[in-house]
Structure 1
Amino acid sequence: MKSFVYEKATSPQDAVRFVGNGAKFIAGGTNLLDLMKLQIETPETLVDISRLNLDRIEDTDAGGLLIGALVPNSDLAADARVRERYEVLSRALLAGASGQLRNKATTGGNLLQRTRCYYFYDTAMACNKRVPGSGCSAIGGYTRILAVLGTSAACIATHPGDMPVAMRALDATIVTLKADGDRRRISIHDFYRLPGDTPHIETGLEPGELITHVELPPPPPGRQLYRKVRDRASYAFALVSVAGVVSVENGIIASACLAFGGLGPMPWRDTSVEALLLGHAPSDALFAQAADALLASAKGQGANDFKIPLTKRTLIASLRELTA
């Protein structure tokens, strides 16, 4: 690990003043410290925000929740309001990492965790996400965990998160404090970036911009589910995951929100797939049609070809449960 300057922020405004070129915020550090040990991330300055007063979960006037960026994943998953009103979020959090990591990982940091692509972590390999313009060793390499949707000629890495997938299904809003002191509200649908020619730019955050809160709207109607398919029962990233919220009225699907993990470079959501379900009676034929629409542009890279039929089966099984 390379040496760095350590600064301790006493307020959000203090934190954004510290951050300039070559600086990073640190709270739980469950991803950043690993990257620093491998010299994938080499910040000149670390700004410690772990002691800021951003660790509370509050009810909003609209009937939703305002979640501080420093709320630990374990506390968020266990909160009675989350368990009762946002079951999909609680389940997604409990499906991620291990109990020890959930105790340390934060809400804001979880949104920003970086890919676990093998080639991103191997500094001997070319990676446009790590060194822009160097190439992508994953293309033509071993691709089992990598993306089948939203890829480009520059990058086929997957987003590794569970919580952000549920947040996307719930239409979360990310609240930030910019380096100039202005505040911003960013829909999670606009927060992440497709790789295109610039896979190193993963979010819409500006340099020095700090996530302070995540706001959830009032809970949507219907059943909620988070289904995660992985290689082992714990401490494993999703091969495919589905976060779903579906309501059925008088035997007809009235509303549907579906987000997916393990498939793309960001938590994936396609509202045209949801629209296919609306106004119809639940059936396997309808669910298969939705899955085919979701995967119409999917492209395997050999070792990850299995993700396409696996996703179809997982989505059909999830929709059966959500509409039962």
Structure 2
Amino acid sequence: MRGFARRFIIAATFSVALAACSGPDGNGQNPPGGGPPPGTPGGMIVAGGTGFIHTFNTSSGTEWQKRLSYSAPWSTVTTIPANRELLIANTSGANPVVVEVYDLDTFGLKRSFEWPNSTSMTTLHDFAATQDGAYLAITMEALSDPFFEVIEVATGEIVYTGLDTLVGSNFVWTADNDLIGVASLGYLNDPGMWGAIVRIPLQNMLDSEDGNVDGFLIQTFTRAEFDYLSYLALSPDDSELVYSRAGDLWIIKVYEESEPHQLTTGPVGLHGAVFSPSGTHIAVAAGGRYGLDETYVIPLHRGPPLFIDHGQGAGNEYLLEQNTLVDWMLAWLP
């Protein structure tokens, strides 16, 4: 498993790739509550889970707060941190998909609009906005295979449809409007390259006439390594990417050839991480007992993986709050 900066070609169905170039506290019990772990940067973490949008004020808060309810089975959610906006796309299965835009400070509705040509969509999967909010990307389906689509918000026009191999994971946008996602390459029948994290410039999508686009390989995975890979999140300066693979957190450089570094290990899956505004910490959820999730704030590091297992008290020094309704993080605002 290695990071790359190699150029490749993606087809609408993906064809060719290549053209080289700490332990628990003393008695094993939970540490006292009352706030985030010591050293946690200030700001507001925004999260989703159990049909609610939640927030945690890391400067003065002591617990997660429910801020907004939404129809989770029929919706997909993203944020535009620079605009302090929350976007919820919703489908009824009979009418067009509606995107609602909320203020992340007041959680009041700012505006809403319909996604073009989206009548009868039965399932909405992943959703992401460019960092300036000018373009939106979504994967959705209408009683058939999921498909990927990009619209320009100002005109309401569909500007790209394709990239069917990117529908198994979330995706994120860099400030330069490069889309980063996970591509499944099993159809190539090459056990040495069964999947990849890829970077695709938006302009290449806009220029495409047949769905084929040029892009770059950030990291490739063998068949054995390509296991439950998702929950991508970019650092504030877009230089690093954190992701979850087989329940552990990993980090890799986006624009430099590098080896990925494993941040965590343990029996409980970690998912839905986001970087702090300072880029020094990561907030993440962990599958807990009885359907409830623990939430953690861990420091970025280049040492051995941090062992996280709340049942044994391992990693409790990083515990933000236990037994929460939070399933994944959406953003960490200043």
User: Does the alignment reach a TM-score above 0.5?
Assistant: no
Task: Tell me which interval the TM-score lies in, with the shorter structure as reference length.
Answer: under 0.3
- Of Structure 1 and Structure 2, the greater helix share is in 1
Normalising by structure 1, we get a TM-score of: 0.22
Normalising by structure 2, we get a TM-score of: 0.22
